[in-house]
Amino acid sequence: MNLPGILITGVSGFVGGRLADSIDSEVYRVVGVTRGAVSKSYPLIEIASLSDLPAPEVFFDGIEVVVHAAARVHVMNASEGDPLTAFRDVNVKGTLNLARKAAAAGVKRFIFISSIKVNGEHTATGQFFSSHDTSSPEDFYGISKHEAEQGLRELAAETGMEVVVIRPPLVYGPGVKGNFASMINLVARGLPLPLGAVYNKRSLVALDNLVDLIITCIAHPGAANQTFLVSDGEDLSTTQLLKGVADAMGKPSRLIPVPASILQFGATLLGKKAVAQRLLGSLQVDISHTQKCLNWTPPLTVKQGLQRCFPNHQD
C-alpha cells in the first residue's frame, strides 16, 4: 500500500527536524528537503535553494502535503546593503516558488510555518494577538513572512490548493538556539540577574506542542485555508520563565528584584531598547480559534516543555 507522502523542508533545522522525526512512518511517507548533507532515516532531497528546485514530477512524486519549515531567520551577513531583499529572496520568492510547483503537481495542502511577528512585536497589558488581527510586522523577517502569507492565499484562491498558516511565538525545546539559549547559559552559570521583578506576560510554545499542532493540521479538514496562532496556553513573566528554567535545570534562580522602569531606562541609555522590549515587554497570543477549529489542546504544560529542554536532569 502506498502511504500518503509528506514533504518537509528544513529537516536539518530545529522545527523541521523534530517534525519529520515525530511523524508516524506507518501512516505517512516522509520526504525531507535540506540544503546540506544530513543523516536521516527517511529519504532526503538536497537542494541549493528554494528558487532552484528539481523537476516537479521527481520532487513531488506521491506527495499530498507540504510542510514548509525552512526560512531565513537571521541576517547572516551584517554588511548586506539590502537585508530586506535577502529575506524576501528566501521567505517570499522561495516559498512561493515551492508552493506554485506544489500546486501544479497536485499537492492537496501546503502548511506554512510563519511567525507571530506578522501580527507585531508586542501587545499591551491584558491584550492578545489573534488570528483575525490586521497584520503589523515591524522587522524584515516579519515583513517577509507577511508577504509570503499574502502570496500563498492568492495562490490558494487561484489553484484550489489548501493553505494552512501557523504563527508561533518563541519556540523552545531541546537544542534551542538564539536568545533562549543565551538565557539558559546565564542561568546555568549561576549569575545573579536583575530580573526578579518583571511582571510582563509572554506567550511561548514548546517545540513538541508546535509539532503536535502541525501534525494535526496535516489531515484535519477544519485546517484548510486557516491561520492558526499557537502557544502553550500558559503565559509567563520573564521572572517566572527564568525561575522555571532554573527549576528544570535543578539550579537555584538568582534573581535580583530591580524595578522594570529602571531596567528600561538603563537599556535606553545603552542603546539596547530592542533587548529590553523582549525582556520587559508583553507579547500574548489568543489560541482559542486554534483550539475550537481543530479541537486541539497543547499536550505539554510549560513545566513539562522546559523539562524536555534538559533531558539529563533528574528530579
Q: What is the pLDDT of residues 9-22, one digit of tens each?
A: 999 889 999 999 99
Give the range with max mean pLDDT: 22-36, 50-64, 192-206, 268-282. Answer: 192-206
**What pLDDT is stored for residue 67 in this prediction?**
97
Q: Is 141 a residue of the active site?
A: yes
For residue 1, pLDDT over 70 is answered with no
Residue whose C-alpha cell is 505517512: 28
Highest mean pLDDT (candidates 178-187, 240-249, 272-281): 240-249
Which one is catalytic: 28, 42, 141, 199? 141
pLDDT tops 70 at residue 78: no
DSSP letter, residue 137: -
Question: In this structure, which amino acid lies at residue 176?
Answer: V
According to the model, what pLDDT value does residue 314 have?
47
Give the C-alpha separation, 291 to 242, whole Å. Answer: 28
> What percentage of the chain exceeds 70 in pLDDT?
96
Residue whose cell numbers read 507540504 = 66
Average pLDDT over residues 96-111: 95
What SS3 class is residue 96?
A: helix
Cα distance between residue 303 and residue 237, in whole Å: 14
Residue 313 has pLDDT above 90, yes or no: no
pLDDT, mean of residues 149-165: 96
Judged against a pLDDT cut of 80, whether residue 272 lies above it is answered with no
More confident residue, 279 or 92: 92
| Per-residue confidence (pLDDT) for residue 82, from 0 to 100 | 80
Full-prediction pTM beyond 0.85?
yes
Mean pLDDT (the chain, rounded)? 89
